Structure 1
Amino acid sequence: MVLANAQNIVPEHMMGRYSAVSRLFSWGAMPLGAALAGVLAELGGPRLVFAVLAVVAAAALVPFLRIAGPARA
C-alpha cells in the first residue's frame, strides 16, 4: 500500500511553497487555539477547556481513521 504524501503529490518545484504554506497554517493556528482556550477558561474554567478539547479530539479521530486506516480492497 502506497500512502499519498506531499512528496508524492506536490511537484518538486513547488515543494518550497507547499512547505511555507503548511508552516503558515500550522504555526498560525497555535495562537488562535491558545486564545480560544483562554476564552473558554475565563468563561468556564480549565475543566471546560479540557472537556471541549477532548470532544474536538474525539471528533477529529473519525476522519483521521478514514484517511489513515487500512485500505479497502
Structure 2
Amino acid sequence: MKTNDFGFWVSLEEIIKSSSILIDRPKGTAHPRYSSFIYPVDYGYLEGTTSMDGGGIDVWRGTGNNGFDSILCVVDG
C-alpha cells in the first residue's frame, strides 16, 4: 500500500465515524493479565467491527478531540 493512499484514510475515517468507541480499559488501570502494565491512555475497541483476533478493532484514545491523528496497523499473515 502506498503511504499516501487517500482512499485508505477516507475509509478509515468512515469506520471511526460510523462506530461507537467502547473503552473497556480506562487510562490508569492495570492490564488484566499483566498487572504491572498500566494503560497510559484509554484502550478499547470499535463496536460492530471485527479484527484478526476475533475482537473489535482496537482503539487507543489519546487527548485529541477531532478524528484521528495516527494509526498503528498490524497485519498477521
**Higher relative contact order by CA 8 Å / sep ≥ 6: 1 or 2?**
2
The structure whose residues are more often strand, as a share, is 2
Which structure has the larger Rg? 1
Normalising by the smaller structure, the TM-score range is under 0.3
